[in-house]
Amino acid sequence: MICPKCQREEEDGALFCSWCGSRLDGKRRCPICGAWIAEEALYCPMCGKRTDGKITCPGCGTDYAGKFCPKCGRKNMSSL
């Protein structure tokens, strides 16, 4: 098995890479609630929050991170 982060070979069945410590089973922790989620998950199935630190603007639908939407200028109320 090849580690997706450092590209080194690891034993089949290993859960963590012995070189860089990355998980090898395709899971990671939700940055909001800490639940184990799929590596590619955009939303956490436990808390419902986005896992990439971005929000979707309710005004125009743009995904962004910051205090104001770069497309329509609406204020990010979750950053208060």
- Domain range enclosing 64: 52-80
Sequential DSSP letters for 7-65? --B--TT-SB-TTT--BSSSEEE-TTT--EEETT-SB-TTT--BSSS-EE-TTT--EE-
| pLDDT value, residue 61 | 93
> In the predicted model, is pLDDT for residue 2 greater than 70?
yes
| pLDDT value, residue 80 | 46
Is the same domain home to 58 and 71?
yes
| pLDDT value, residue 79 | 52
Model confidence over 14-26: pLDDT tens digits? 989 999 998 888 8
Model confidence over 27-69: pLDDT tens digits? 889 988 999 999 889 999 999 999 988 888 999 999 998 899 9
Tell me how many domains the chain contains.
2
Is the same domain home to 25 and 36?
yes
Is the same domain home to 8 and 37?
yes
